[in-house]
Amino acid sequence: MNQNWNAEKYTSDFSFVHNYGNDVLELIDTAGVKDVLDLGCGNGALTNTLAEKGFSVVGMDASEEMLEIARNNYPGISFIRSDAVDFALEKPVDVVFSNAVFHWIDKADQPRMLECVYRALKSGGQFVFEMGGIGNNILIHSALADIFREYGYTYKMPFYFPSVGEYAGMLEAVGFQVRFAVLFDRPTKLKGENGLSDWINMFVKNPFLEVDKGDKDAIIETAVKRLSSDLYKDNTWYADYVRLRMRAVKK
Which one of residues 85, 136, 211, 223 is an interface residue with ligand BEZ (CB under 6 A)?
136
Whose Cβ is closer to ligand BEZ: residue 190's or residue 211's? 190
| Residue 18 in contact with ligand BEZ, rule: CB under 6 A | no
Give the relative orientation of helices 213-231 and 138-150 as an angle to the nearest 10 degrees.
Answer: 140
DSSP string, 49-112: HHHHTT-EEEEEES-HHHHHHHHHH-TTSEEEE-BTTB---SS-EEEEEEES-GGGS-GGGHHH
The answer to whether 45 contacts ligand BEZ (rule: CB under 6 A) is no
Ramachandran bin of 78, using left for φ above 0, alpha for ψ from -120 to 50, beta for the remaining angles? beta
Nearer to ligand BEZ by Cβ, of 23 and 212: the residue is: 23
Closest to 238 in 3D by CA, of 185, 188, 186: 188
Closer Cβ to ligand BEZ, 21 or 125, answer by number: 21
Spatial separation of the C-alpha atoms in residues 51 and 24, rounded to whole Å: 15
Of 21, 132, 162, 207, which lies in the binding site for ligand BEZ, with binding defined by CB under 6 A?
132
Q: What is the identity of the amino acid at 233? A: K
Which of 74, 153, 237, 241 is close enough to bind ligand BEZ by CB under 6 A? 241
Query: Inter-axis angle of helices 138-150 and 195-203, to 10 degrees?
Result: 80
Question: Does 207 help bind ligand BEZ (rule: CB under 6 A)?
Answer: no
Nearest C-alpha neighbor of 104 from the set 132, 68, 137: 132
Q: Which is nearer to ligand BEZ, 35 or 198 (CB)?
A: 198
141 binds ligand BEZ (CB under 6 A): no
Our finding on whether 162 is near ligand BEZ (CB under 6 A) is no
Q: Which of 87, 160, 203, 208 binds ligand BEZ (CB under 6 A)?
A: 203
The distance of closest approach from Cβ of residue 13 to ligand BEZ in the complex, given in angstroms and rounded to an integer, is 13
Q: Give contact residues for ligand BEZ (rule: CB under 6 A).
A: 100, 103, 132, 136, 159, 203, 241
